[in-house]
Structures are given as C-alpha cells and as structure tokens.
A = this chain, B = another copy of it.
C-alpha cells in the first residue's frame, strides 16, 4: 500500500505578546524586542496541517478533507481566531506565545482527533509572517 501525505491550510488572526511576567518591561524589551510591547501586537497566522495515511479504496482519499478541516476549525481556529493568544486561549495558558509553542500546542490539540479519522498527524507548520515560520513533527 502507498503512503500519501495530505496538507490542509487554514488561517487565524490573533493578538499576542512575547514576555515573561516576572521580568520588567525593560527586561522583556531586551530579550523579546518589539514583540514584548505590553499593549500587544498581532498577526495573520497561516496554519498547515499535514497528515499521512494509506488511500481508501472506497473514496480515493487518505482522509476526508472536509472532516479534517472541520476538526482543525473546531479545535484550533475557533479558539485562536480574533483572540488574544496570551489571555484567551486555554491550550496556550502559562506558555510563552511563540510560534514554536503554538506549533507544539496545536499538535497536541489535533493528534488524537486526527487518529480518529484513520490518518496520522505528520507535521504542524505555523507561519507568523511571510518570513518566519515554525514546524513540529511530534518528536
């Protein structure tokens, strides 16, 4: 049987701030630069979810992309879109709101749901700007 990789792209717009609460604003500025602005800033994030699996003989699909999109939207986009990542997103509570941590936390939200679709989560890619992105492969 052949292994095929399927990627679904979704988007969310959110505010965030990079900072450690125990630091002063000056210390945060030194470590995190303008991303530490106490008044927040934000991004149009792009999320790429890649799953792998064998093709179903019945459908020609690794997995139904509508189902995959529904799960990503329910578990990840709905909690993140038009939100403040630091203040309002349960799965980011207590974590630094970096692109790296977003990728790992989104993996954790999706891994179980996707195995329920008969496929295996392979990669979470989060693009913060057109120049910066993080990828996590679950290891």
Contact = CB atoms under 8 A, between A and B. Distances in A.
B83 A41 contact: yes
Interface string A124-139: 0000011111111101
> How many copies of this chain are found per oligomer?
6
Given A37-B82, A134-B6, A13 B59 contact: no
Size category of the A interface is: 35 or more
B41 A44 contact: no
B84 A37 contact: yes
A75 interface: no
Interface string A70-105: 000000000001111001100000011111110110
Contact of A43 (B37, B42, B58, B133): B42
A130 B103 CA distance: 21
A41 B61 contact: no
A55 interface: yes
B95 A7 contact: no
A61 to B, nearest CB: 6
B131 A2 contact: no
Q: Which 9 pairs across A and B sit closest by C-beta, in order of nearness?
A: A42-B42, A60-B96, A60-B98, A39-B84, A34-B82, A15-B40, A5-B135, A15-B15, A41-B82
6 contacts: A6-B99, A34-B81, A34-B82, A42-B43, A60-B97, A61-B98
